[in-house]
Structure 1
Amino acid sequence: MSELSARLESLESFADLCESKGVKSSQEIIPGNDAEPGIYAL
């Protein structure tokens, strides 16, 4: 239960951050096909 609760809290924090930055869709924050190769963390 505690792991699920922690995951939900982090998801809520991420959703709040997206809302405060005006992100309307996850597609807006995913690197496009023209992005340099590498590891991206959301």
Structure 2
Amino acid sequence: MLLFSGKAKDMTYKMLLWSAYMNKARYMEALDVADFCLN
């Protein structure tokens, strides 16, 4: 049970990291598009 809990926590942590990375990438892409439109 403890092992499973540790694995679940690890998976949650990876999911959080992944979603944060994706959000950052999307944000950067939006900034690039805005920058392109301004110029």
**Bigger radius of gyration:** 2
Short-chain TM bin: 0.5 to 0.7
Identity, % of aligned pairs? 4
Unaligned runs of 5+ in 1: 24-42
Looking at secondary structure, tell me which structure has more helix per residue: 2
* TM-score (normalizing by structure 2): 0.56
Structure 1 stretches (4+) deviating beyond 3 angstroms? none
* Bigger relative contact order (CA 8 A; separation at least 6): 1
1:3 Cα offset (Å): 0.2
* TM-score (normalizing by structure 1): 0.52
Unaligned runs of 5+ in 2: 1-16
Please report the RMSD computed on the Cα atoms of aligned residues, expressed in angstroms. Answer: 1.5
